[in-house]
Structure 1
């Protein structure tokens, strides 16, 4: 079955397709809302599960993707299979079920990954437009909460808005910014909405007062300004906006006390000023000592759980790649890095810098469980001009 025939078949049930795409927008809008404690499924996760099931039913348990998408799915499947195997092994050895709970995050995100790959390949621009609608809706709801003073409850001037903690807010902002950069390459985004997304994600990063998120945001922004983004992106408007904003900030800074007495800016200055001290304490605070002091886990990993094995610490490793290395060894780390490199190559290196700076954020935070990261990698994993490959029951075979 060719890709054109597959798309024509989809047209028979347009209502089902429309519902899936609308649900994906709703998922993005609901993603920031944490109604329960972190680590538990949220409302958005329930919506995504419904999307995954509906997509499989609508496609009669068949996934259609490009050759590159098939390769990325196979790499991600190998990674998830390895993760689950390691966690089940340690669950049996330690007699604890926390390892199985950790595996569920990865299995869920694998479902998110293959569903995104499938939808992106089949519906292309239409799917991207619904993602953009979801992004705008999510950012508007967060701005609404900010303007009405909802979520400034973490202390030190740090905002949480609808999240449980400000780091989640900062990570959400840079992930959305990364997806926005991807969309800019594939669909025509009106300048006003592009600027809205760029500015709003910047505001959310800053009010989170997350050093990692702020640095990563400006890294992605710099990449957006430096690297060619096609005729669809009018750089001059963004450059003009940033120039005017910096000029206004400078005038206010030297002529008024508004900025000097602003609590948020004072907190930001304090946190950025302590960045060097935090870097010096990274190994101790984030858990990097586990790499050097526990070489027995270098090859296969320690599994994700029972952290008391590490000098009695009850906290997980606060690093994306670092946690993968300790939990799943060199094999798990290589598989995930291979998946990212494959996605970068497939996207023709257009979106390397958002992924790079998102991983830079991950130097001090473990962001592997966030489904938006898997969505971004999935979007980058498709060659939209290549020949399609039908994948039946997640097993690939060329037609």
Structure 2
């Protein structure tokens, strides 16, 4: 009798497949919508900041996930910091929207909320191997489509020289290419697949055509990390370490000297190319002044008090007297200026927690490299766990219908 009572809970679960199948169907629908989001996101049919067709499928993916989980999706403790940051952006932007009577300032917070939704959906599915494989394939497909569009001459350009494909902005295009590349590499690392340089060649070529200095430097940092990781896992003698250090310093100094001396020749040869843009940023004039002007930081210099309390994001005409009415260009200083110290620290804690835990949506944050054999756990959706239990005749810990 005792044994029968112990078996009854799992037996009841087995005879209720109707409670599992709809949940699994919704999870598959959520993944399918996310796949559509990946494919359609690069195609900007309307102006930047508008709700695009790809965004619709991300929202459908989120909705299917919420319904499948009974509107009780558990957010990881580390992601709670991101939730807190998004909430604080609404507070800061709400204050300035009320002060200036400009509801448009709230729009920036909606963008962060959108990113939070993407983190939740992607993070929930990312530990599923089938989902991860499909994501890698689709991102590689996106890059190849952009490459094909470039060679067919159908892509758009900014100012006649900076390629932006199906995007509205060359920097936007460069960011997408770079992060698609990183996700492909880290996904392959997690799946235990061996990477090739094919993705590197495609991504580097596209970023070069976008003339995005920031993303080009991002690639440089990526490859530096690869080399450093490789060296750290090679047991070198002190003499060899010293030789490599001096060799690296000599190469950097030589490269910088040659680059600055041939700046005019590069300008004549490449025009508005990435090489010309990169060199002209640092050839002549103060490096600090060039950085301030290029990153639209004049408003930060003239209104440093906002670094403490935040200025709100948007309605840049408030600072027109301090330079062009443009947003701060893609630097952490922009986050601090817009939202102040406390929200910025909260966001930094979220980033640090992800790096410490080694995961962002299930991905190991270390640079993917054959020498780095990190053991990753897995977390299957509740519906899959229930299905496995039903098939095996067992009930996993915490399974409840």
The normalised TM-score by structure 2 is 0.71
Q: Give the aligned partner of residue 318 of structure 2.
A: 309
> 2:175·2:215 contact (CA, 8 Å) conserved in 1?
yes
Could you tell me how far 1:350 is from its partner in structure 2? 5.1
**Matched residues in 2 for 1:111 and 1:387: separation?**
19
Counterpart selection for 1:268 from 271, 274, 289: 274
Aligned-pair CA distance for 1:11: 6.2
Q: Describe the shift of the 1:11–1:131 C-alpha distance in structure 2 as closer, same or farther (beyond 3 A).
A: farther
* 1:162 to 2:177 alignment: no
Q: Can you list the C-alpha shifts for 1:168-196, whole angstroms capped at 9, x where unaligned?
A: 111111111221232132113354xx433
1:21-170 to 2 correspondence within 5 Å?
Answer: 21-64=31-74, 70-121=76-127, 124-170=128-174
1:321 to 332, 335, 347: 332
CA distance in 2, matches of 1:48, 1:83: 22
Query: 2:335, 2:278 → 1: CA distance?
Result: 28
**1:337 aligned to which of 330, 342, 348:** 348
1:51-95 deviations in Å (ceiling 9; x for gaps):
11111112211224xxxx612221111101111111111111111
CA displacement at 1:341 relative to structure 2:
0.8
CA distance in 2: counterparts of 1:31 and 1:221, whole angstroms:
27
Kindly indicate whether the alpha-carbon contact (under 8 Å) linking 1:80 and 1:106 is maintained by their aligned counterparts in 2: yes
Secondary structure of the residue aligned to 1:227 is helix
Query: Could you tell me which residue of structure 1 aligns to residue 365 of structure 2?
Result: 351
CA distance in 2, matches of 1:153, 1:388: 43
Task: Give the unaligned 5+ runs of structure 2.
Answer: 1-12, 232-265, 369-375, 383-396
Could you tell me which residue of structure 1 aligns to residue 262 of structure 2? none
Distance across 2 between alignment mates of 1:102 and 1:94: 15
State the shift of 1:115 in Å: 1.7
Q: How many residues of Structure 1 are paired with residues of Structure 2 in the alignment?
A: 321
Distance in 2 of aligned mates of 1:387 and 1:267? 47
Residue of structure 2 equivalent to 1:18: 28
Residue 214 of structure 1, aligned match among 216, 219, 229: 216
Match of 1:223 in 2: 225
* 2:251 match: none
Deviation at 1:326, TM superposition (A): 0.8
The match for 1:384 among 370, 373, 377 is 377
3-state secondary structure, aligned to 1:88 = helix
1:59 and 1:34, CA in 2 relative to 1: closer, same or farther beyond 3 A? Answer: same
Q: Which has the larger radius of gyration?
A: 2
User: Matches of 1:71 and 1:216 in 2, distance apart?
Assistant: 29
Cα distance change of structure 1 residues 136 and 332 upon mapping to structure 2, 3 Å threshold: same
Contact 2:24 2:68 in 1 (8 A): no
The CA distance in 2 between the partners of 1:144 and 1:10, in whole Å, is: 43
Aligned to 2:254: none
Query: How far, CA to CA, are the matches of 1:175 and 1:265 in structure 2?
Result: 27
SS in 2 for 1:206: helix
* TM score, norm. by length of structure 1: 0.71
Could you say if the C-alpha distance between residues 265 and 184 of structure 1 is closer, same or farther in structure 2, counting changes exceeding 3 Å?
Answer: farther
Task: Within 5 Å, give how 1:165-176 maps onto structure 2.
Answer: 165-176=169-180
> Within 2, Cα distance between the matches of 1:268 and 1:133?
29
The whole-number CA distance in structure 2 between the counterparts of 1:298 and 1:158 is 33
Q: In 2, distance between residues paired with 1:285 and 1:267?
A: 17
Q: Which has the higher contact order (CA 8 A, sep 6+)?
A: 1
